[in-house]
Structure 1
Amino acid sequence: MKVASIFILSALALLSLAGNTTANLVGKKANCNDAVMGCPRIYDPVCGNDGVTYSSECVLCFENRKRQVPVLIKSYGPC
C-alpha cells in the first residue's frame, strides 16, 4: 500500500510539471486565415515575442504578412 501511494504521488507530481513545459518556449504561432481581408474590432490582446502588444491575434497575423520573420505569440494579454 505504501509503494502504491508513493507511485501515485510521483505520477501526480510529474503530470503537474508536464503542464508547464510550454512556458519556456519562445512562442506560439498565430492562428491565421490568409483569406481574411480584415479583422473584427474586438480587443483581445496578445503579446508578441518582439515585446509589442497586438490588439488581437488577427492584427498580429496581418503584421506577419508584412514581415520576413513572423512574430510569435509569447502570451495572451498585454505585454
Structure 2
Amino acid sequence: MKITRVFLLSVLALLSLSGNIAAYSSGRKANCDYTMDGCPKIYDPVCGTDGISYGNECTLCAENLKRQVPDLIRKSGPC
C-alpha cells in the first residue's frame, strides 16, 4: 500500500514538472537580427514565454541578451 502511494505521488510529480516545461518552452523564436542597431519605437506587443509583455520583438530580444536567457514569443499581443 505504501509503495503504491509513493509510486503514484512520483508519477504525479513527474507529470506536473513535464507540463511546466512544455508550457515554458512552447513558443516561436523571435527575430533578433536587428537588436544590435537599436530597437524601433514601434508598439507591436508580444508576450514572452516568461509571462512578460514586451513592446515589440526587438525589446524581447534586447532583454534576452541582457539577461542571457532564451525566452521565446508565446503569442502576439500582450500577455
TM-score tier (shorter): 0.5 to 0.7
**How many residues are treated as equivalent by the alignment?**
56
Partner of 2:64: 64
Partner of 1:73: 73
The percent identity for this pair of structures is: 61
Q: What RMSD over aligned residues (CA atoms) do the two structures have, in Å?
A: 1.9
| Runs of 5+ consecutive residues of structure 1 not aligned to the other structure | 1-23
CA shift at 1:35, angstroms? 6.2
Q: Any runs of at least 4 consecutive aligned residues in structure 1 with deviations exceeding 4 A, and if so which?
A: none
Partner of 1:50: 50
Q: What's the TM-score, normalizing by structure 2?
A: 0.62
1:26-37 superposed matches below 5 A? 26-33=26-33, 36-37=36-37
Q: Whose helix proportion is higher, 1 or 2?
A: 2
| Runs of 5+ consecutive residues of structure 2 not aligned to the other structure | 1-22
CA distance in 2, matches of 1:63, 1:43: 16
SS state at 1:74 partner: strand
